[in-house]
Amino acid sequence: MVKSIEYFVFDLEGTLVETSYQEIICLPEIKRLLADLDANGKSLYLWTMRDRKSSLEILKQTGLISYFTDFCCLGSDSYAYKPDPEGIISMLPDDFNSEEVLVVGDSYKDMQAGKRLKSHTLCAGWYSAPNKEMVQRLECLGVDQVLTIPPGIDDLKLFHSRA
């Protein structure tokens, strides 16, 4: 039986927003994607190295906070750092199936965690496209997809569980 992705785990910086400038940038496509996922009953989670206070402030400023079911902010929560998926596991329901999880992040450690969890992985290259060497490393890791533009909800329907 083919199941769809039910749980979406997003990194914050470099994935949902860009914070390396004087202002916080969030692409309209990201807002649309999160709204579409939410409207389709999907569960969204934030998993970031930032502390909780600044993470929640960024989500409030960008209008994204209401889309998320839970937050794991490794800068202040007491879980193992990336690439250990412990923080992701702590947010998901006890009976989750890793085949129903998509980890979306911009770093190699984000993708390592997704693979350790045996979930689907999408490397976000829309704020900063990965160079050729990084793409090769991601391919060797078995990352499912590397995108340089934010996906729409129809693009994410390509991810189905193998269960």
pLDDT over threshold 50, residue 161: no
* CATH fold group of domain 11-156: Rossmann fold (3.40.50)
Q: How confident is the model at residue 3 (pLDDT cuts 50, 70, 90)?
A: low
**What is the dihedral sign for C-alpha 157, 7, 110, 139?**
negative
Cis peptide before 83 (omega within 30 of 0): yes
**Residue ranges per structural domain of the chain:** 11-156
Report pTM: 0.93
pLDDT over threshold 80, residue 76: yes
**Long-range CB contacts for residues 74-78, cutoff 8 Å, separation at least 24:** 74/47, 74/48, 74/49, 74/50, 75/48, 75/49, 75/50, 75/51, 76/51, 76/52, 77/52
pLDDT over threshold 70, residue 143: yes
Q: What is the tens place of the pLDDT at every residue in 22-55?
A: 889 999 999 999 999 999 999 999 999 999 999 9
Q: How confident is the model at residue 153 (pLDDT cuts 50, 70, 90)?
A: confident
What separation in angstroms does the CA of 6 have from each of 22, 30, 160? Answer: 35, 18, 10
Confidence (pLDDT) at 156: 78
Q: How confident is the model at residue 127 (pLDDT cuts 50, 70, 90)?
A: very high
CB–CB of 3/161 below 8 Å?
yes
Q: In what order do the strands lie in the sheet with 120-124?
A: 68-73, 43-48, 7-10, 101-105, 120-124, 145-147
